Amino acid sequence: MRSISKSAATLCIHAGKTSNEHGSLATPLYQTSTFIFDNAEQGAARFAGEEAGYIYTRLGNPTTRELELKIAALEGMEDGAATATGMAAVSAATLSFLQQGDHMICSKAVYGCSFALFSHQFARFGIDVSFVDMTDHQAVQAALRPNTKLLFAETPINPNLVVLDLEFLASFAREHGLISVIDNTFLTPLLQRPADFGIDVVIHSATKYLNGHGDVVAGLVVSSSEKIEQIKLTILKDIGGTISPHDAWLIIRGMKTLAVRMERHCQNAQRVAEFLQQHPAIARVYYPGLADHPGHRFIGKQMKAAGGVLAFELHGSLDDGRFFINQCQLLSLAVSLGDAESLIQHPASMTHSPYTPEERAMAGIGDGLIRVSVGLEQVEDIVADLEQALTAMQQHQLRAS
């Protein structure tokens, strides 16, 4: 039988599937902590790595395995590891390859807890981190040290949507013998595949778009089989940040609609960004789908589309920003992103509060920056909610003047 090539939308549904005893169409949920051996010899052989098979869910589970193979197929990589949270994916993808005395280069803006891990916790273990503007290729070069082992970045960057050149980062890392790690949460493999440009390791907060329904926290790491084996046999096994089978099952279910959801997220975000760009209460909009955004040039080359997250700055004070957010009726005031619901939040006081004011300024995260994860609602309703909240803010400003 002739094999057929499968598109990303098809892989979201079919990749990683294996036959099961009863012919269930839906992925079976193996909600078990441990697995029974046929005999003592089989148990010993599995522990020794001489026989394939499952031992204990922290070490592997059939439901989890389908999710790992699915994301690996979508990212065009050999294998994957599922983790309990997005931060477990971040820590596994870095600590598995770093040790005391090593140095890492990181983009100057990253998710707040990633920043806290790298800037506060890594120092306790003798791992040094340099935060640099990775749009400045000379700055990346200048950050290199003899003990540099790893390069970590997000693109687009959370929360200000800066887009980095994956081809340059992969080439730089390869030239200097570094492991390159990219957080691809904002775009998913449907819109961007870092491995196509030579990136070694890709991570996701599967909490976000991959699951898509706001009811799971989880992470994923994809890479070569060799690197994934190292991650699973060290940090994941011994620190234990592995996913539960039920959460893996929910993400598998959510990913069946990933392609259609991402199309709607992108369409809605583009429309919202264009509305905000022309509104007099808005000082600046950060969204790569807009022609004046520096990252717009990467669409069609590195990114298929700009994604579903945008940020903007208001004409007004921090108090004006709080007032504006509190006026929103449809948009939910909540952190996270990638849900069916539109979410709005204030990075400086919420997701990026681990930064000091000076660190936020260095990373380009202003006190007035507001981030929106544009959901799947009818886009006219999202725009209408933002419009009435902006009007209320302008009236509030007039009363206060």
Query: Catalytic residue numbers?
Result: 58, 111, 183, 208
- Please, are residues 369 and 160 in contact by the beta-carbon 8 Å criterion? yes
In b/e form, how buried is each residue of 115-133, taking b as 16+ CB within 10 angstroms? Answer: bbbbbeebeeeebebbbbb
> Tokens 């699915």, residue?
70
Cα(75)–Cα(202) distance, rounded to whole angstroms? 8
- Residue 236 sits at φ, ψ, to 5 deg, of -65, -45
Cα(38)–Cα(40) distance, rounded to whole angstroms? 7
Contacts of 42 (CB under 8 A, 6+ apart): 51, 53
Cα(179)–Cα(173) distance, rounded to whole angstroms? 6
Which pair of structure tokens corresponds to residue 21? 């005893």
> Tokens 């990026």, residue?
352
Of the candidates 246, 244, 241, the one whose C-alpha atom is nearest the C-alpha of residue 88 is 241
Residue 59 amino acid letter:
L
